[in-house]
Amino acid sequence: MASLNIPSLPLLAALALILVLPVRAVTSASAEAAQMAVGRVEPADLNDEEVQKVINFAAKTYNDMNNDLYFSKPIQVMSASQQVVAGMNFYLKIKFGRTTCTKAQSDLADCPFNEQSDQQKRVICNFQISTVPWMNKMSVTNFNCPRT
């Protein structure tokens, strides 16, 4: 009669498999989801502080690289996406406009856009910017302003 109270070995093995398989499947699915996020290009949040730093860096790069006497600033961020790599890649499409301030001026924060039709200069530029936040590194890996 004592043998009725002890489950058989095959029954114990089947019970163990039933308990282990769902846990393993959930763990595997979570790992796959996390791995898929790395390397995937996704929309960037324009309100995010890091994204704003990258946009400002792109604007500084644009002003440093062009030979215009006047300071330009973003009119509109037309698109922004990001990609997790060994750091982050940001892909930006920004429409710039010429301001009334020369680059030689010290306070460029409140420069209004130049509204005179013969002085307006609008340009759309594409940037790829790589960042490594924990090393405080940011660099432009690709930059172009195609003529329209």
**74 vs 8, more confident:** 74
What's the pLDDT tens digit per position in 85-94?
Answer: 999 999 999 9
In this prediction, residue 27 carries a pLDDT of 44
Q: How many domains does the chain have?
A: 2
Ramachandran area for residue 127 (φ above 0: left; ψ -120 to 50: alpha; else beta): beta
In this prediction, residue 41 carries a pLDDT of 95
Could you list the residue range(s) of the whole structural domain that residue 16 is in?
2-37
In this prediction, residue 145 carries a pLDDT of 94
Do 49 and 32 belong to one domain? no
pLDDT band at 109 (very low <50, low <70, confident <90, very high): confident
Percent of the chain surpassing pLDDT 90: 59
Do 47 and 113 belong to one domain? yes
Do 24 and 45 belong to one domain? no
Q: Count CB neighbours of 13 within 10 A.
A: 10
- Distance of alpha carbon 8 from its chain centroid, rounded? 57
Distances (CA, A) of 52 to 49, 68, 81, 138: 5, 24, 12, 13
Do 27 and 46 belong to one domain? no
pTM of the model: 0.72
| Lowest mean per-residue pLDDT among 12-16, 99-103, 120-124 | 12-16
pLDDT band at 147 (very low <50, low <70, confident <90, very high): confident
